[in-house]
Every structure is written in C-alpha cells, then in structure tokens.
Structure 1
Amino acid sequence: MPTPFTRRLTGLVGALVLGSVSAPVALAQDAPRAPSAMVVLDSSGSMINNDAGGQTRIDAAKDAARTFIDDVGASADIGLVTYGGNTGETDADREAGCRDITLVTAPGDDTADDMLDHIDSLEPRGFTPIGDSLIEAADALPSQGGTIVLVSDGIDTCAPPPVCEVAADLKAQGVDLVINTVGFNVDATARAELQCIADAAGGTYADATDADTLAEELKKATTRTYRAYRSDVERLDGAATFEEATPVPRDTMRFLTSLHPLPADANPYTHNTPTYFRLPVRDGEHYVVSAQSVQAPSVNTSVWDNLVIDGQFVLPDDPDSRSRCTSDAHQSSFGGVNGVITGTVHSEIIGEGCDADEVVLTLNRRGDWRKTEPVDVEVTVTRIDPFTLPDGRDAVPADDASPDIPVVTASTDTPETVTPGVWFDDAAELTPGETVAVDIVPGETQFFRVPAEYGQHTAGHLRLVDDAQDWDVYAHDREMIVTSYNEARAELPLTENRLVPEPEATLDFAHTDPVRFQNRFGEGIPGFDARHLWQDGDQIVAVRYRDTSQGEIDAASQLPPLTYHLTLDAEGKPQAGPTFRPADAPSTETATSNAPTTGAEPDTAASEDTGTGMGLWLGVGAVALVIVGAAGFLLGRRK
C-alpha cells in the first residue's frame, strides 16, 4: 500500500516526466500523447536505508514507480533504465558494478508489464553508475528527444567522466532533451551533483526527504515549459498601398503575412494601418477571410496592450466600395495580446453589387501592441460556392427559432489524459460526451475539436481539479478563457467564456445557437450572434490560461500546471444543409452537398487537408484519387 511519501513521489516523478519538453510547431497527431520519457531508477546498495516515510528507499521507489506507471502509462510512451542490484560493493566488484545497467524497455505504448515485473524484482545492491545510465536512457529515446527522470540517493560512484559533463554533452547533441532529477535524503555533495545534472540538461531538481518537504518541493517540481505554435505556412507579404495590392493565387487558401506597423506618432486606438491583397473571385461566390495572430505566449508583458485586426473587401477600382462588397466584419471578443487575436471579414455575394473578377482584401491593424513593429498573422481564405438551401426553403422552423441552451454533464468514467493541440491544425479530436483530463501552464492556448452537423448545438463543461500552486495565488491574477471557432477560423459566440481558478470551479458554456447555414445565408435564427453560427463540421474550442503572477515568460520558463477536466458535446437532431455547384458551371449542373472550400483550390481540395472543411469537390476528387490508388492515404489524413 503506497504511503503518503510514495504518493507524493509518484506525483513528482509524473510531473517531471510529462512536463518538460515543449513542442513549438503544430503537427497533426493521430493519438495525443505526452512526450517520450525514460525513468532512470537507482537500485544501488544505499537504497536499503529505511528513512523514506516509514519505508526503505527502494520500497518507496517501487511503490511510486508502480503507481506512476498505472496512472500515466496509457497517455505517455515510457521506458525504464535501472542501475545496481546485481553485484557486490567491494573494490573487486567495482568494474562489474559500474557496468550493472539494465535497459528494461525503450519508450512505447505497451511497456507497463515489462517495467512492473522488473521493478518488483529489484534488490538494492552494488554501485551507482549515473553517467552511463543517462547515456543508455538517452540512446533509448526517439530521435526527436524526450525527457529523462533520474531518481537517485547519492553521487555517481563510477566517475570519471564527471556526470555533469555527461549531461551537458547529451544536451548539446541537438535533440530536444531535458533531464530532471529527484534526490532521496541526499547529502550536500549528492544534492549539488544532481542539481548540476538538471542545470546542464535544462531540467529541474527536487529534494525528497520526507512527506512534508516533498510536498513543499512538489510545487517547484511539477512544472514544464509552455507548448506554443510556430507557423510553417508559406509566407506572402502584403502591400502597403492599395494600388500595389499583392495578388493571392486562387489555389492559395492559407498564408502567413506581416501586418505593417503603425507610425510612431499615430494614435493606436484610432489609426488603422492597412495591408493589401488582391483575391480572384467568380460570380455567385461568397468569401470569408480570418486572420489570427501567431505571437508566442508572453504573459503580463503588458496586460493593457492590445491588438485589433479588422478587414474589408472592396472593388479594385473603388476603395470606397466597402458597402458593396463587405457584408460584415468582427474581431476577438477579449482585449490584450496574451491569446490568439482574430479578425474575420465576410463578403457580399460576388456578381451583384460587387461585380468584378477580383476584390481587394484590406487587413487593418490598430492597437498599441508592438505598435512600431510588424506583427505576423496567419490568414485563412474560405470560398463558398453558389448554393441552394435545403428543400428550397430558407427559414428555420418556428419551434427551433429560440432553442434551449444545452448543458453538458461530465462523464462518470475516469477521464483519459490527452495532449491538446497548439493550433487549429492539430486540435485534439474529442469524442462527443467524453470527459478528458488536461494540464495547462500559464500563457498556453490549447485547441480541441468536436464534430457538429447542421441543426446541432455545441456545448461544453470545464472543471478545475488540481493546481500545482495549491490555489495559493490572488484570484484576480489568473483567468481561464474559452474561445470557439468554426473551420473558417471565425470566432463564434459563447454563452459564457471566463473562469477564475478556484478549487473545483466549473464553467458551463455553449454556442448561443445551433449551427445552421440559414443563420447567415437565409432566414435563420434572428440575431447578430446567430449569423456567425453557419458552418457545420469541426467546432474548435480553445482554452487559454492567463496568470499574471508569473510575470514575463519565454520558451525556457518553467511554469506551474493547472489540471482541468473538459467535456464537449454536440446536441440536437441533424438537419439538411445546402447544396453547392461550381461557380463557373451552368446552373443545370448536378449539385453537391459538401461544405465550403477552405485551405485548397477546389480542383485539388480532396488532396489537401489543412485543418478545415475538405471542400466542395471531395466527391468528384475522391473518384479520381481511387483510380490512382491514393484515396486510402488521403482519407487517413481527414481531420
């Protein structure tokens, strides 16, 4: 039965393993998992000492390791190296003892039984070859690196080479490696060595002597760096003048650009600095363009600094034609710059009042955030082809015009721990109604997605369950903010979206209305908020954690995690959506019922999935892809 000491040790080791390697670039993930980790466990002769909360050190370590593996084995790829346990401790045993290192298993998703069997068999004997054990563990990690957690009660008794040099050499090999260390009742010399190892390899040290001191050190040990997005989308620089607007190829539906800076003497709250692009368009189309800031988390750089992104469409020969080509535009619902700042603009239908082969897209920037510097944004273009509303109707049934707001109930099953996405592209896909466990650190914005069909109403429930700071922070220094988006990356209205971190605090939130295409393009649910809820498919939910008590942070900052449970669901009976036809095809051509095109040219949409709707041409494209044998691969990429 684990003692309080081993339970705290389990939490300490678990936090060190799961929370040290940042992932700065958003990549698609099949099954969200924590970074790969290797535990290096001491089984040398000194682990026989009986001073670990009423247990021997080895027994405490065994209990902690068992509980740790049971708790996190399903959500992390873990491996194990042990040293000691197989030799004597005399000078004659030294050579063999310094080679007494066992690689039990490299990180994997089915290693628990092998590790548990080996841990049960450990006997404390022999020497302490820390340096070579770290090398063994590093070699077992995947090429992209991971975390090593060293648990020891003393110094390396097999040096040279000095173990700090070994740690520094491993860190310098160019992989994303962090080494964290935990000491059991160590003396000053061993503590200095273990601290040196952690410092040399970008990790943290925790000193465990008994339950009380371990609980105190747990706050410091359960930290990690933030995970943030760095765009790898192709860059397209916008023009500073209307006449020189940068052409955007029709097959470019997502690009990175820089918004031009404001003049140094401009009033940042009234002056708009434009960046211009030229988009090719066709009669009958609608366009939606969203621009999102991609700056790294910077918590409390300046709480009151702000960035506003606005947009408009105009005719290329008439910069004052906003009313003819722009339906509406909207911006992020919160101030400041510590999250994803969004600006979205919707066009009028092309070919009526806005009659042209091209339109000029203007992205305006204002606010005092980095006022005199360029600011990067990622731009997403969504093309909506001519459509026919379901059954020829454009009105919502009367009994659906004012729907009840759904309330989501958390699942009674033990939540699965997931690794959330860091951007729209790798948003963690959640099963509707299933509760997951997530940890977040200050400055992070985490992305999730849940599918919703036309007629369905997306809602969620968030509950705070644990805090590495033991809730010992002034409440108004911290805030959880929930934001929602559609596949066009436009921000969606929520009933509630803010939560002050307190023990067991909960937040129930939902879209203000069900998703219906008619909300924007027909006589749908009345009200400005409902106009934004027009696109089915993945509904994105982003969770952001602000903690100004941490001051300024960067990619190397070790930050205390907050753990929460999240449940997302889409309720309601699915309803028919619109049908679409190609914009340049006769009206008699057979229509399709697929979603608007985002992220790919229509004739290539089936082969390019960039995180939003696959697009109007999926049906026709899939036939051609089957012919060339590629459909299986592409369907596997469907988000």
Structure 2
Amino acid sequence: MSRRSRLRRITAAALGGLILVTLTLVGMAPASAEDGNGKLLLVLDSSGSMKEKAGDGKTKIEAAKTALNNVVDALPDQAQVGMRVYGATVFDRKDEGACQDTQLVVPIGTGNQAKLKAAIGKYKPYGETPIAYSLEQAAKDLGTEGQRTILLVSDGEETCVPDPCPVAQKIADAGIDLKIDVVGFNVSGKAERQLRCVADKGNGDYYDADDTEELEESLSRLSTRAFRPFRLGGTPITGSDEPATAPDLGPGSWLDKLPTEAEAVKYYRLKRTKAQSTFWIGASLQAPSSRTQLAMKLVLPEDLDETCGWAYPSALGGKHSRMLLSGVVSSHSKDKDCLAATEFLLHVGFTDFSDSLAGQKFQLRVYEEPPVSTRVGLPAEVDDPHWQSMAPRNPKTIQPGSSFADAPTITSGTYKVDVMPGEIQTFKVKADWGQRIQVLGQIAKLAKADEWVARGARRYSVGVLSPYGGPAKAIFGKGEPAGYQSIVSRQGNEVAVQTKEVRWANRDGSGDEQNNALAGEFYVTIQLDREAEDEPAFALPMTLTVGVIGTPNGAPQYANDAPPPAETPSPSATPSSEPPASESPEPPASQPASNPPASGNGQPGDGGSGEGTENDGRTGPPAGLTAALVTGAVVLVGGGTGLLVWLRRH
C-alpha cells in the first residue's frame, strides 16, 4: 500500500476518533449534572446536501450514521453526552423558521445510548445550514460551568446570518472551559475555510473526512488518540490591576486571563490561616509561541518592594508545536518580615519575552502548607541523584491525560501510549517524602515505511513537574543513560530524566531542589515535535517506564498535626491506572545523599519554578528555559511493519 493510500485509510476515523477521544476524557472524571463538568454536545448537519454522494459513491448521511452508531456503542456509561441537529424540519430558507431550525434531540445526560441511537436512526437530510444559531443554542445546552465541548459535523457553509466564525469566537470567550471542535465532511473552498475558522476561533481543532471509509474505519484504533489540547480548569477569578482591590486567592484551582498591556500587572491576595505557613502557587498556560515567560512575585501589601518569593516560568519548544508554560512561586523565606506577614499579594506580570502572552488564559493552583512543629531531625538538602538501573518489562496500555486535571495516576511500571506531534500528554506519579522519580525512554528502530518521521531534527522529550507545576528535573543528575530529550532516530535511541529526593529542607536550595521540597503527585509529561504546520498528522506508539525510587522517610511533623493534601487540587478526579505488582520494574533502593549547604531562595530563574541558566552538558537549549517545558520523552516501540497511525488534521 502506498504512503498516500495508507494516509487515507487510517485517517478514515477522524470523526469517530475525535468523538471517542473527547468521550474518553469525559468518562475519566464522572460528574453530576449539577457541577457541569465533562459535557459533550454533538451538533450534526441534517441539511439537504447530506443526501449527496461522498467520495466513494455512498451518501454522506449513510456514512455519518454508521460512524455515529459505532461511537455510541463505545460510549462510557458515565459520559455526559447530548445531540443537537440542524436543518431537519424546515425545507427552504424562504420558509419561516429556516434559520432557527435546530433541535436538541437528546438532552445531555449519562447512560442515554439508546436515545442517541434512536435519534441517529431518524437523522435525515432535509433543510438549510444554520450553523451560527445552532452553535449559540448548543452553548446554552452545555451551561456555564465545567469542561464543555461542542463537536460540530458539517458538510457545507452557513446558509443564514450571522457568520458562524465570530459567533464561535464569542462563545469561546464567554467560557474558559469551552471549546468547539469541527469535522468538515467532504468540503472545500469557502465552506472549508469557514469551518476551519469556527474551530480556530472556538479554541478547537479541525478535521477532514472525505468518504465513507474515512468515517467507518479504525474507530477502535483511534478511540484513544487525537490531537489533544492541553486543557486548563478551575474557578474563574479576575485579578485586579490595583493592589488595594486584589481579590482573595485561596487554596484550589483558579482561571484568569493575563493583562492585555505589556506593562500591566494583576494582583491577588493570599491570607495566611496559620502563622508562618507556606504558600505554593503554580501558574500554567498553553504557550502560543516558542519563547515565552511570565514574572511571578509574592510581595507584602504594605510594601510592594518587599519580595518574599519570585519565579519566572518559561516555555521553550519545537517549531509548530504546542507548549506548556508552567512554574511555581513559594512564600518560603527566612526574611523576618515575610515570616511575620499575615497576607501576601501575588503579582503576575510580564518580562521582555512575554509579548505573545497578552490576554492569554492561565491557571493558578494554590496550596497553603502548614508550618512544621520543628526542623530538628529533618533530613538536610539533598545532593544530586545517581541514576539506578531499571529495565522496561510487560508494558501496559494506558490512556494519557491532556492536562493536570485528567492525568491518569501511574506507579512504577512500563506503559504503552501513542503520541501525536505537537500534543502534550500528562501522567501523575506520587512521590512521598524521601522518594524520587526516574523516567526512561527508548525508541526502537523505525520501520522502513516510517523512516520519513526521522528526517530533519524532530525532538521527543520527557519532563517531570512538581505537584504545583514547577520543573522538577535534577539539573546535575548523574549516570542517566541519555539526556531528557533526543532527536527521533531511524536506528533508535534513548531518553531519561530523574528528580531529586523529596525533602522538606530542599526549599532552602535552588530551583531543582525547591521543586522537590513537597511530597505529592508529580506530573510526567511527554511531547513530540511537529516539523511543519501542514505535515500529515500521525500517532507514534511509545512505551514509558517509570520508577519511584526509595522508601518513604523524613516526613515533617506539621503544627497541630495538620497534614498536606493527599492530592493536588484539580477541577476533577482522575482514575488510577496501576499495573499489577508483577509488571512493575524493581529498581534498587535509593542511595544516600550528601548534604550541601543551602544556596538560598528566590534566585532569578529559579524561585521554585525554574532551573536557572545552567546547562546539563547534553544537546538542547539552556536548562533554565527547557526545564519549564513539558517537552516529553518515552520509549518508542516500532519496527517491522509500519506502526505509525495516520490521521489527517489540518
């Protein structure tokens, strides 16, 4: 089979794969109707043109029914899904009501597969194409809270007014957790441009499907993959440009937009509930360009020049790829005024590298750590870690997350995933006090038909983020079999990353130590670069081996026996995917670490959220920027028969 024909065959399931991926993510976090989390609404074209023939001679409506029925059969019981159709009851635009001809045929709910299949059976081509009005009604169907997705399937352009593109922009702007994905079915020209615009302005993705084969084939194969955007989540909040009117920012997950002016700043107020407690504030956003940076500071309300902690979260990634900017600022300080403070102001602003961030949505995650009863007996700051050999074995397939909220929990073991160029994948790994994390990746020799993927300098890499999003990679880790990133090779190669042991006293050190100063759920992240905006999209099979090294020890005793939270705050719960004990690698016990002197707190470039400007000696950009990335690495399983899974995303 030629490369071209394989592209067409395997990308056939663009519609089914996109729907199933969305539903898989919806199903990850069961949510009640009241909280509005994880809702998907299918918006389907029932206009007269759906009776036309697709590329293979079958009608578009026949292909759509087949694909949709397959999707419904695979729905998780807990998925909140509904269906709206347009152009189903009024025949001609001249007829009254033609441009408001849209109906919610299946209200959003769970366990409604029978109703959805019944509605699909009645789905017939008939009237006009009122896309804009249908999108407005769909947004109302989904409500105003939680993660919401509109999935529009259309074979043509708007036949009414207004233009659906600015309507999509308005809908997306009104809901931080709402996106509009679009599948264009056998479209071209103006219709294709309009549907692309709807997806773009709606913060979603656009997919093409040309014929019945492209809607029917490979649904199961693509049910766990699509171009997954990193999703932010939390309670909306609006920071103030004046310190005096700063809103209260308590523990939890929050969403806001960055200032629109380069010199502008947003302020938030944090109030201590216990004397000398420590605030950890993580900031994350999907960076729109390859070199971006934020400025975060914790200052005293009565003296804005008195800084108790700062950080410069940065992102640096491959061309044409999505990037995550993520970092942490902490209030931990030995300054007497900072120790005695009852309130702080969080300052979020820009640096000289922030031009592309104006107005971007970003997430804040906040935790107030109680003070310790005593530091006596706590292990001192940890030295650089030494890699401990671990062999991949018995890999288990797992569905990756696309954000902090939906990252699946994994333990020591080996896992199989598929990653697409430019996407961000996330996994949670719990590390207790006295433990550290290792991640190993290997890429096998590529099959002959897949060798084009290794042309140029396509990078794949792995990152580890702290519980609140700070880069936790040990800058000067010793003995790793490879660097944390590598160029995809035809012959195969390795990547590896490790963290320092989690110790309370690490907060007195530099960036990579501070980001290993709080036990909890760390995040392993994976990314594979795109090489061109218009390259054929594909999913590359990979395996990921994770080791949690060491026995829990050195836990601090908090004042009044107040423990830290078991999990980092996120908008929704996530499942655990742990391999049986027999499938886990068995790394040896951790080695003892020496105790270097403290290197201070709040240094530019670290501050708990960066790794300074040191370079670890391997290929790649300076560690101070790359550490803040979620560029990821993994074991790639290839060989033999051409394992790349193709789909067309434009």
Structure 1 length as normaliser, TM-score?
Answer: 0.53
Flag the 1:499–1:11 CA change in 2: closer, same or farther, 3 A: farther
Q: Look up the equivalent residue of 1:180 and give its one-letter code.
A: V
2:429 corresponds to:
450
d(CA) in 1 for partners of 2:470, 2:181: 40
Flag the 1:59–1:395 CA change in 2: closer, same or farther, 3 A: same
Whether 2:325 is the aligned partner of 1:340: answer yes
1:242 corresponds to:
none
Shift of 1:38: 0.9
Flag the 1:230–1:473 CA change in 2: closer, same or farther, 3 A: farther
Q: Which has the higher contact order (CA 8 A, sep 6+)?
A: 2
Shift of 1:298: 2.0
Shift of 1:106: 3.4
**Residue 536 of structure 1, aligned match among 513, 516, 519:** 519
| Residues matched between the structures, number | 513
Equivalent positions of 1:101-112 (< 5 A) are 105-112=106-113
d(CA) in 2 for partners of 1:55, 1:459: 52
1:64 corresponds to:
67
**Residue 385 of structure 1, aligned match among 368, 371, 384:** 371
d(CA) in 2 for partners of 1:195, 1:407: 49
1:297 corresponds to:
287
Contact 2:240 2:268 in 1 (8 A): no
Shift of 1:573: 3.8
Flag the 1:102–1:116 CA change in 2: closer, same or farther, 3 A: same
Contact 1:389 1:577 in 2 (8 A): no
d(CA) in 1 for partners of 2:271, 2:169: 49
**Residue 579 of structure 1, aligned match among 557, 561, 569:** 557
Flag the 1:476–1:85 CA change in 2: closer, same or farther, 3 A: same
d(CA) in 2 for partners of 1:151, 1:336: 34
2:182 corresponds to:
180
Q: Look up the equivalent residue of 2:325 and give its one-letter code.
A: V
Whether 2:142 is the aligned partner of 1:142: answer yes
Flag the 1:403–1:549 CA change in 2: closer, same or farther, 3 A: closer
Equivalent positions of 1:83-482 (< 5 A) are 105-116=106-117, 127-128=126-127, 130-131=129-130, 135=134, 138=138, 141-144=141-144, 146-150=149-153, 152=155, 162-163=159-160, 174=171, 178=180, 180-184=182-186, 204=206, 206=208, 208-209=210-211, 227=231, 232-233=236-237, 235=239, 285=276, 287=278, 292=283, 297-300=287-290, 303=291, 339-340=324-325, 342=327, 344=329, 347=332, 357=340, 368-370=352-354, 385-388=371-374, 392=377, 394=379, 404=388, 411-413=395-397, 415-416=398-399, 418-421=401-404, 426=405, 428=407, 430-432=409-411, 442=422, 448-460=427-439, 475-476=456-457, 480=461, 482=463
SS in 2 for 1:486: coil
d(CA) in 2 for partners of 1:577, 1:258: 37
Contact 1:98 1:128 in 2 (8 A): no
Contact 1:42 1:83 in 2 (8 A): yes
1:485 corresponds to:
466
d(CA) in 1 for partners of 2:374, 2:16: 58
1:38 corresponds to:
42
Q: Look up the equivalent residue of 1:340 and give its one-letter code.
A: L
d(CA) in 1 for partners of 2:165, 2:432: 53
Q: Look up the equivalent residue of 1:182 and give its one-letter code.
A: G
1:143-169, CA deviations, whole angstroms, 9 ceiling, x for partnerless residues?
Answer: 2464243355x899xxxxx45659579
SS in 2 for 1:476: coil
Flag the 1:367–1:177 CA change in 2: closer, same or farther, 3 A: closer
Flag the 1:60–1:395 CA change in 2: closer, same or farther, 3 A: same
Q: Which runs of 5+ in 2 are unaligned?
A: 1-5, 218-225, 475-479, 572-650
d(CA) in 2 for partners of 1:101, 1:56: 22
1:95-138, CA deviations, whole angstroms, 9 ceiling, x for partnerless residues?
Answer: 9x99999966334442334444665x5797x7456549984983
1:578-611, CA deviations, whole angstroms, 9 ceiling, x for partnerless residues?
Answer: 2123xxxxxxxxx526239999xxxxxxxxx689
Equivalent positions of 1:524-603 (< 5 A) are 532-543=515-526, 547=530, 549-550=532-533, 570=548, 572-575=550-553, 577-581=555-559, 592=561, 594-595=563-564
Q: Look up the equivalent residue of 2:68 and give its one-letter code.
A: A
Q: Look up the equivalent residue of 1:183 and give its one-letter code.
A: F
Contact 2:43 2:138 in 1 (8 A): no
d(CA) in 1 for partners of 2:238, 2:407: 24
d(CA) in 2 for partners of 1:404, 1:492: 18
Contact 1:309 1:365 in 2 (8 A): yes
d(CA) in 1 for partners of 2:393, 2:330: 35
Shift of 1:379: 9.4
Q: Look up the equivalent residue of 2:521 and give its one-letter code.
A: D
d(CA) in 2 for partners of 1:99, 1:347: 57
Contact 1:330 1:343 in 2 (8 A): yes
1:620 corresponds to:
none
d(CA) in 2 for partners of 1:448, 1:46: 41
Flag the 1:407–1:516 CA change in 2: closer, same or farther, 3 A: farther
d(CA) in 2 for partners of 1:181, 1:362: 42
d(CA) in 2 for partners of 1:374, 1:112: 43
**Residue 515 of structure 1, aligned match among 502, 510, 519:** 502
Q: Look up the equivalent residue of 1:535 and give its one-letter code.
A: L
Shift of 1:486: 3.3
d(CA) in 2 for partners of 1:262, 1:139: 32
Flag the 1:105–1:330 CA change in 2: closer, same or farther, 3 A: closer
Flag the 1:336–1:66 CA change in 2: closer, same or farther, 3 A: closer
Shift of 1:213: 13
SS in 2 for 1:533: coil
d(CA) in 2 for partners of 1:355, 1:312: 9
Flag the 1:562–1:388 CA change in 2: closer, same or farther, 3 A: farther
1:186-207, CA deviations, whole angstroms, 9 ceiling, x for partnerless residues?
Answer: 8x8xx76676567578585746
d(CA) in 2 for partners of 1:514, 1:78: 43
Contact 1:236 1:257 in 2 (8 A): no
Identity %: 14
Larger-gyration structure (1/2)? 1
1:407-451, CA deviations, whole angstroms, 9 ceiling, x for partnerless residues?
Answer: 6767524x3364523xxxx46352436958687784x76665333
Contact 1:280 1:357 in 2 (8 A): no
d(CA) in 2 for partners of 1:278, 1:135: 41
Shift of 1:342: 3.6
SS in 2 for 1:492: coil
Q: Which runs of 5+ in 1 are unaligned?
A: 157-161, 216-221, 240-245, 264-273, 552-557, 582-590, 600-608, 612-639
SS in 1 for 2:142: coil
d(CA) in 2 for partners of 1:361, 1:165: 44
**Residue 15 of structure 1, aligned match among 15, 18, 24:** 18
1:466-499, CA deviations, whole angstroms, 9 ceiling, x for partnerless residues?
Answer: 9xx9976964366555241134x54312565435
d(CA) in 1 for partners of 2:49, 2:131: 18
Contact 2:419 2:528 in 1 (8 A): no
1:635 corresponds to:
none
Structure 2 length as normaliser, TM-score?
Answer: 0.52
d(CA) in 2 for partners of 1:474, 1:346: 46
Contact 1:479 1:547 in 2 (8 A): no
